[in-house]
Chains A and B, each alone.
Chain A
Amino acid sequence: MSDDLRSLTDVDRLIHEPARLMIVTILSAAEKADFLYLLNETGLTKGNLSAHLSKLEEAGYVEIEKTYRGKIPQTLVSLTEKGHGSFNAYRERLKQIVNRIS
């Protein structure tokens, strides 16, 4: 395997997964977003989104806060400092790979 191809395997696999990449990207642009917004933007099913958020929470990339909007339950999600750091590192890694390939 060439070095360039091998380098593609060096990225953060947790963030690299397309659905989680979208979730983390959205959260990087805001202080927090709720479950409904993430559901609409990612196009995932509720179960799927919950599963991805759990994985990100386990890794310490996101913080999940269960609250209420009036009487309706609301789940707010925000990127932790670790999550921000990992996302920025991922973007940087991606730029390096793209520059090297092109």
Chain B
Amino acid sequence: MSDSIQETIRRTQRYWYIDGLAEIIVGMLFLLFGGFYLFSYYMPNPVVRGLLLGIGQPALIIGGVFLSRVVVRKLKEWITYPRTGMVVYRKPAQNQRRSKAIWAGGIAVVVSMSVILLQNVLGENWMPVISSLFAAVVILVIALRVNLVRLYLLAVYVVAAGVVNSLVNLEDPYSYVLFFAAFGFGWLVSGAVTLVRYLTSTSLMVTEEE
């Protein structure tokens, strides 16, 4: 009985991923990052190029992450909630958010330093593999929490895409563009397949009352 209670809790946590919408938006974001990087790289003016890559890209990433939450919520209100209902998840408490931000910052520093160290040891052509391994770890953490099989598969795909990218060993900017594109494509396809399955297996409920 304890197992079924735990599984019911996990199922409720998994509900966020039932429609694939979050994955579709993440996929589109990564494709956007790749496109923006390519666009910025070929800017003829070096000052503009520097500004776009140095300030524009990080701003796009931060803005994209915030905007994506709003977009996913709006899409769920339109598509998901009228079909299978709405779940509002608990926001972490203020002190939990602070400690999460500190942990995230610390991990980002460790990851950056590891990447620089490994780049010096292994060479730049192995960066896609290393980056994809870190990305896969993040995906695996989510996958373990909600026990969603397709996230495990996505983690494997991301590592495979990183290996292929390293073996192909394209020149700048195409190596990074390929990394973003492959990552984005994987998320997009995973999300799209999930959305199609969700839409074909559910229907709109007009009203909840009897």
Contact = CB atoms under 8 A, between A and B. Distances in A.
A38 B119 CA distance: 51
A91 B6 CA distance: 10
Interface in B180-210: 205-210
B88 interface: yes
Number of contact residues on B: which range applies?
20 to 34
Given A36-B86, A98-B2, A75 B8 contact: no
B209 A30 contact: no
B81 interface: yes
Contacts, number: 86
A28 interface: yes
A95 interface: yes
Contact of A73 (B8, B88, B89, B208): B208
B8 A22 contact: yes
Contacts of A37: 15, 84-87
13 contacts: A21-B5, A26-B12, A29-B12, A30-B90, A31-B90, A32-B88, A33-B12, A33-B85, A40-B85, A69-B81, A69-B86, A72-B208, A73-B209
Interface of B: 1-2, 5, 8-13, 15, 77, 81-82, 84-91, 205-210
